[in-house]
Amino acid sequence: MRTALIGYGLGGAAFHAPFLSTTPGLAFAAVVTGNPDRRAEVAARYPDVELIASVDDVWRRADDFDLVVVTTPNRFHAAHARTALEYGLNAVVDKPFAASAAEARELAELAESRGLLLAPFHNRRWDGDFRTVARLVREGALGDVHRFESRFERWRPEVREGWKESSDPADLGSIVFDLGTHLVDQAVALFGRPTGVYAEVRTLRPAAHAHDDAFLALTHPSGAVSHLWASALAAAPGPRFRVLGSRSAYLKHGMDPQEEALKAGAVPGGEGWGEDPVDRWGVLGSEPVRTEAGAYQEFYAAIAAGQAPVPVADAITGLEVVEAAFESARTGTVISLA
């Protein structure tokens, strides 16, 4: 699949390009960026990849490509995905998949009507620690899960400039759209579409314009609850996962190592890729449990095989949860999902 990567910020450089260049069945053909420094970086690291200054040039040359990967600022995700589909191109769309569940449904219907592959990029399903949680739940090691706790907490008291800190709702700069969508997607992947949502969403840092702290509580049909935290002002982060069941519990600290490896320029998929150090393994009850190897490469392996590794329906559910979370935070009530 001849692939054009639209955008080369952190997401494009660390989470997409390394996999597009190493996945059998994908031909990393072009990068769209007008930024001179980023163009130089692409030229140095991927000398055979064409540099394109404008996304409009991709649409004009749609017959030259089979797949586009949309990793532009959040406000453009749905528009770029829609245009790609209209030009007959398969699409991978970074999170958040769209600004609303309604917009996501429209994209899904368009892809289906054109017979095209449309895949939300929720790569955190292939975090090693989450894969470990999923295995323990699947195997029944925890018994009946009654509480799933998950956190992406960071200590970033200084506000960084950029659209992620924008107060313009169209920029989708809230931490709920950023880290929160990953947390919600993992909960949905484990326990399905929730029936109720309660949330607290705040802006804590004095210089911040966008939400930088959020707590979401989701009630699932099984009776399990997901408690999800995302924060840029957590000087003492809690455990990455705490999962409580009728038989046992799983506790895990620390982050999946793949992100830092990719930021450092590592080539994915080699020996030891995604392996957690022994001293960072979680515990089941009181017994250490080896963390499953992280495997972001499996996402693009599925794309190359013509499969959507994350169902669009799950992304739609995730956006329904996000919308309910904002409504809950505004009203102080639990929002029911029909």
pLDDT tens-digit series, residues 268-296: 988 899 999 999 999 999 999 999 999 99
Whether 169 has a pLDDT exceeding 80, the answer reads: yes
The number of distinct structural domains making up the chain is 2
What pLDDT score was predicted for residue 270?
A: 86
Q: Are residues 148 and 89 in the same domain?
A: no
Of 121, 142, 172, which closes a domain? 121
111 and 133 share a domain? no
The answer to whether 91 and 84 are in contact (CB under 8 A) is: yes
Same domain, 95 and 181: no
- 228 and 276 share a domain? yes
User: Whole domain around residue 103: which residue ranges?
Assistant: 2-121
- On average, the pLDDT of the chain sits at 96
The pLDDT of 66-78, averaged and rounded, is 96
Q: Using alpha carbons only, how large is the chain's radius of gyration in Å?
A: 20
Say if residue 87 is in the same domain as residue 196: no
For residue 148, pLDDT over 80 is answered with: yes
196 and 232 in a common domain: yes
Of the two residues 14 and 208, the one the predictor is more confident about is 14
Confidence at residue 255, expressed as pLDDT on a 0 to 100 scale? 96
- Per-residue confidence (pLDDT) for residue 12, from 0 to 100: 96
Q: Measure Cα distances from 256 to 7, 129, 249, 259 in Å.
A: 24, 6, 20, 7
Binned at pLDDT 50, 70 and 90, residue 338 comes out as: confident
- Of 166 and 174, more confident: 174
* pLDDT band at residue 207 under the 50/70/90 scheme: confident
For residues 148 and 180, membership in a common domain is answered with yes
pLDDT digits (tens, 9 = 90+) for 176-206: 999 999 999 999 999 999 999 999 999 999 9
**229 and 145 housed in the same domain:** yes
Decide which of 121, 153, 182 is a domain's last residue.
121
Both tokens of 319, joined, read 């956006």
Percent share of the chain, pLDDT over 70: 100
Band of residue 152 on the pLDDT scale cut at 50, 70, 90: very high
Q: Are residues 110 and 152 in the same domain?
A: no
201 and 306 in a single domain? The answer is yes
CATH number at residue 34: 3.40.50.720
Q: Are residues 170 and 57 in the same domain?
A: no
Q: End of a domain among 121, 142, 173?
A: 121
Burial call 286-316: b when 16+ CB within 10 Å, e when fewer: eeebebbbbbbbbbbbbbbeeebbbebebbb
CATH number at residue 155: 3.30.360.10
pLDDT of residue 168: 86
Residues 96 and 180 in one domain: no
**pLDDT, position 269:** 86
List the structure tokens of 227. 């408690």
